[in-house]
Chain A
Amino acid sequence: MLRDITLGQYYPTDSHVHEMDPRTKLFGTLIYIIALFLFNNVLGWLVVTGFLILAIHTCKVPLSYMVKGLKAIVMLLLIAAAFNLFLTSGTPIFTIGPLSISDVGLRNAGLMTIRMIYLIVGTSIMTLTTTPNQLTDGLERSLHFLNRVHIPVHEIAMMMSIALRFIPILIEETDKIMKAQMARGADFESGGIIKRAKAMVPLLVPLFVSAFRRANDLALAMEARCYHGGEGRTKMKPLQYHGVDRVGYLVIFIFLVLVIASRIVYPMLMGLIGV
């Protein structure tokens, strides 16, 4: 039932991308997203596609896992593409009744669809190869400088990792309570909206009670271990860069340079051909 939902979707396997420091991956993802919105011609598209294929290939995660995320945005993609197609002004290519498709619209719709798909697939590589804990660890270290302006980075990171940790627990709990109430004849599936909303009460009340109980227990357990926030706190596994990270940063840097170069070289090439 609910157990089948993958949220923290880490895919455990042995690859160079998995070995990388979370900071490298965060930085790489950031550059990748920037690059997605930087490229504006075929050359840039080739560079981005090349980088994506390289990442997919090295992370050893089956492609089907990355494509899964696309299912959720299919509707969004279609609607956005339709708006871009029909509502962009420009030289019309062909018209169907009141609707007309312009050359600019076609280009925009295409670019936007590619960007969205690449965004989902590319960022899912990061979440598939990094455990939620590593991710918050990486964020905490990367944003450490914000401490200077009195933003409690460690506390926020701690809250994030606790929240992430609790998602599967609460899903499991929901599953259990649902089953228990179903065993008492509860029906969560049939009836109108009001009946269904009412049917949620026997599920939500115990769920909230249990969430508060767990939160209480955790707070107590943390205090009993003398937790008092980030100041002076050391790590059992401090983040450290290795050889693979150096290669990673190099690849990311070359990728960024190529994308920027594509914007400059493409018009020059076009000029040479004489278009």
Chain B
Amino acid sequence: MSIKLENVTYQYSPDTAYAITALDHVNLELRDGEFIGIIGHTGSGKSTLVQHLNGLLKATEGVIYYNGQNIYDKDYDLKDLRTQVGMVFQYPEHQLFETTVFEDVKFGPKNQGLDDKEATLRAYEALEKVHFPTDYFDQSPFDLSGGQKRRAAIAGVLAMKPAVLILDEPTAGLDPKGRDEILDMIAEMHKKSGNTVILVSHSMEDVANYVDRIIVMNDARVAFDGAPKEVFRHYKELETMGLAAPEVTYIMQELQAAGFPVSVDATTIQEAKEEILKVFR
């Protein structure tokens, strides 16, 4: 169970005056059960990249394999792929349309061909997973608060039980509390289910605390790919890409430069605390 990209190139509006290369010969392997963060500045190609993983965009050049099968083969079932690779778009609440939250979440499972009973069960389960308050199940999705709308929309994708879950900027436009809640919820789900989760973000801070692998996109190419520690070692290069390592990295770097024997590999506040306490013990 893996997704493999070989030499994937994608151009928007090819052969016109407005042609833009959004992906430039990208090679990647996304292994099963990984929790991956894809990071990049606006326009670096990260959203374009993830839209290829479930076949919404077709690469101008190159091949993508899902579980060893070429998804561009003529008889490959793209609809089936989309139920296996679930994708939550940016501002997913903009896609709500049904009369009640519950009905909206059932939309995905119904499209999978499940009967009403099974779909209801799936919807219930998904709404539980995102900690959506039971009282609001029969509310119109348009009456909810921003954070709740987003939970409902994420549940809409979870209800399809995808083997791979992609979230494109799931925290955009939320307040810090809402952001932490959503990210904690995603991390918890990953732990419980062991599914592959791909988190797209432009904020290192968001991603560093949760993921075990970071892919940095810059100018339509993969700039770095590795564990957070390894990637953050390149914090100077990250800055030139309009990104920044978590603040903790900067503190640790400066402490080390000032002569304290701390490791610069700490990426979370917790790890940094341990490192600093070690010095004083």
Say yes or no: is B89 at the interface (Cβ < 8 Å to chain A).
yes
| Stretch of A70-78, A184-192, A235-243 contacting B (4+ beta carbons < 8 Å) | A184-192
Contacts of B86 in A (CB 8 A): 183
Say yes or no: is A205 at the interface (Cβ < 8 Å to chain B).
yes
Say yes or no: is A216 at the interface (Cβ < 8 Å to chain B).
no
Contacts of A180 in B (CB 8 A): 87, 89, 92, 94-95
| Stretch of B104-112, B170-178, B221-229, B261-269 contacting A (4+ beta carbons < 8 Å) | B104-112
Q: Could you tell me how many residues of chain A have their Cβ less than 8 Å away from some Cβ of chain B?
A: 22
Asked if A209 meets B82 with Cβ closer than 8 Å, knowing A180-B89, A184-B111, the reply is no
Distance to closest chain B CB from A61 (angstroms):
10
Say yes or no: is A177 at the interface (Cβ < 8 Å to chain B).
yes
Say yes or no: is A3 at the interface (Cβ < 8 Å to chain B).
yes
Q: Which of B13, B17, B83 contacts A185 (CB 8 A)?
A: B83
Say yes or no: is B156 at the interface (Cβ < 8 Å to chain A).
yes
Say yes or no: is A206 at the interface (Cβ < 8 Å to chain B).
yes
Contacts between the two chains (Cβ within 8 Å), count: 61
Contacts of A202 in B (CB 8 A): 95, 97, 107
- The proximity string for A residues 23-40 relative to B, scoring 1 for CB distances below 8 Å and 0 otherwise, is 000000000000000000
Contacts of A12 in B (CB 8 A): 17
Check B95–A185 contact: CB distance below 8 A. Answer: no
Distance to closest chain A CB from B95 (angstroms):
4
From A12, A180, A187, A206, residue with most partner B Cβ within 10 Å: A180
Check B89–A201 contact: CB distance below 8 A. Answer: no
Contacts of B157 in A (CB 8 A): 183-184
CA distance A13 to B51 in the complex (A): 32
Contacts of B54 in A (CB 8 A): 183
Say yes or no: is B121 at the interface (Cβ < 8 Å to chain A).
no
B152-184 contacts to A (CB < 8 Å): 156-157, 160
Distance to closest chain B CB from A207 (angstroms):
9
Check A184–B97 contact: CB distance below 8 A. Answer: no
Q: Which of A177, A184, A209 contacts B142 (CB 8 A)?
A: A209
From B54, B95, B107, residue with most partner A Cβ within 10 Å: B95
Say yes or no: is B56 at the interface (Cβ < 8 Å to chain A).
yes
Contacts of B82 in A (CB 8 A): 182-185
Check B51–A206 contact: CB distance below 8 A. Answer: no
Say yes or no: is B59 at the interface (Cβ < 8 Å to chain A).
no
B102-160 contacts to A (CB < 8 Å): 107-108, 111-112, 142, 156-157, 160
Contacts of B13 in A (CB 8 A): 3-4
Say yes or no: is A15 at the interface (Cβ < 8 Å to chain B).
no
Distance to closest chain A CB from B99 (angstroms):
10
Distance to closest chain A CB from B144 (angstroms):
13
CA distance A177 to B90 in the complex (A): 10
- Who on chain B is nearest to A6 by CB? B16
Q: Which of A3, A177, A187 contacts B94 (CB 8 A)?
A: A177
Say yes or no: is A11 at the interface (Cβ < 8 Å to chain B).
yes
Q: Which of B51, B89, B94 contacts A210 (CB 8 A)?
A: B94
Asked if A184 meets B17 with Cβ closer than 8 Å, knowing A177-B94, A179-B51, A179-B89, the reply is no
Check A184–B79 contact: CB distance below 8 A. Answer: no
A residues apposed to B, CB below 8 Å: 3-4, 11-13, 176-177, 179-187, 201-202, 205-206, 209-210
Q: List 30 A-B contacts (CB under 8 A).
A: A3-B13, A12-B17, A176-B89, A176-B94, A177-B94, A179-B56, A180-B89, A180-B92, A181-B95, A181-B107, A182-B82, A183-B56, A183-B82, A183-B86, A183-B89, A183-B157, A184-B107, A184-B108, A184-B160, A185-B79, A185-B82, A185-B108, A185-B112, A186-B107, A186-B111, A202-B107, A205-B97, A206-B96, A209-B142, A210-B94
B residues apposed to A, CB below 8 Å: 12-13, 17, 51, 54, 56, 79, 82-83, 86-87, 89, 92, 94-97, 107-108, 111-112, 142, 156-157, 160
The 6 closest A-B pairs by CB, nearest first: A185-B111, A205-B97, A183-B87, A184-B108, A180-B95, A180-B89
